[in-house]
Amino acid sequence: MTLGSDNLQGKLSFNFNRAVRDARRDYPVETENITFIDSSHKTRDEQVNQFSQWIEATSPAFKDLLLKDTTARSLAALMLLMYGGTMSLKDPVSGKGILIAPGNPEENPLHKLFSPALSSEETLAYSFYHELGHLIIDEGLANTLRELELCSDFNESQSLRRRGEIFADSFAGLYGLQAGFLDKNKVQQLSSIRKAGDAIHDTAEALSALIEARDEMTMAPLGPQEIKRAAVTHAKKFTAR
């Protein structure tokens, strides 16, 4: 199982469109309402247009809470600037989600964040499955309007976003180990990078423990839903504290 990744002679080749097709195949219910955007194949203006159109198509309650005193286009431009063209967002009312991530290793602003732990191709894969984890796992993002309201408070925002990052990193880490584009050493290096990062991405402990947890699981290949369930079980050990 590769989900958009080919590991040929030890070298990973990531294909965004194939990853999307495979994600829709393996998580058909969870991805039914997700819009996928390859940010490296669109200009910033095209990204803003597509993102703002997605915002306009969400539920009125979500849109009102999200926009407040701004416009969909202004918010889309700001969020893309803040997150560097890599992000996910979900409307908990309609269930509509959006995943934006780069698919070209030569236009990959995230690589500097994960180097030297991961190659540019591995960074593309990890980033895609991290954002996918945010969207297909209920706890991966604020899943009620009330939680979105709480995100306006700095302290609550830190706690809620950290929770989502733990679920997303647990999914991406376990998926990478299963698919073969990560190994124990790379996960440990990722853990070290997260430890030195911001408070929201405080996922180092969960990533480090994932290595031992994977060793304790059956060595039989895990299917997509088994990976999701295992990631949720693992993440809950670090979000229930």
Amino acid letter for position 111 = H
What pLDDT does 152 receive?
Answer: 64
**Cα separation, 36 vs 89, whole angstroms:** 11
Q: Residues 200-239: pLDDT tens digits? A: 677 899 999 998 877 666 556 789 999 999 999 999 999 8
Share of the chain above pLDDT 90, in %: 57
What pLDDT does 58 receive?
Answer: 96
**Cα separation, 137 vs 88, whole angstroms:** 12
Give the count of domains, the chain. Answer: 1
**Cα separation, 39 vs 84, whole angstroms:** 9
Spatial CA neighbour of 47 closest among 3, 96, 5, 82: 82
pTM to 2 decimals? 0.90
- Asked if 172 contacts 126 with a C-beta cutoff of 8 angstroms, the reply is yes
Q: Residues 153-209: pLDDT tens digits? A: 545 566 788 889 999 999 999 999 989 899 989 999 999 988 877 656 778 999 999
What pLDDT does 199 receive?
Answer: 56
**Cα separation, 5 vs 12, whole angstroms:** 7
Does residue 25 carry a pLDDT above 90? yes
Average pLDDT value for residue range 139-146 = 88
- Asked if 139 contacts 107 with a C-beta cutoff of 8 angstroms, the reply is no
Pairing of strands 87-90, 34-38: unpaired
What pLDDT does 104 receive?
Answer: 87
- Asked if 130 contacts 100 with a C-beta cutoff of 8 angstroms, the reply is no
Does residue 3 carry a pLDDT above 50? no
Q: Residues 60-69: pLDDT tens digits? A: 999 998 898 8
Coil, strand or helix: which one is 116? coil
Domain that holds residue 49: 5-239
Grade residue 142 by pLDDT with cuts at 50, 70 and 90: confident
Coil, strand or helix: which one is 6? strand
**Cα separation, 92 vs 171, whole angstroms:** 20
What pLDDT does 218 receive?
Answer: 57
- Mean pLDDT, rounded, of the chain: 86
* DSSP output for 2-62: -SSEEEETTEEEE-HHHHHHHHHHHSTTTTTTEEEEEGGGS-HHHHHHHHHHHHHTS-HHH
Q: Residues 66-113: pLDDT tens digits? A: 898 899 999 999 999 888 889 999 999 999 999 999 998 887 777 788
- Percent helix, strand, coil in the chain, to 5, is 60, 10, 30
**Cα separation, 53 vs 100, whole angstroms:** 14
What pLDDT does 4 receive?
Answer: 47
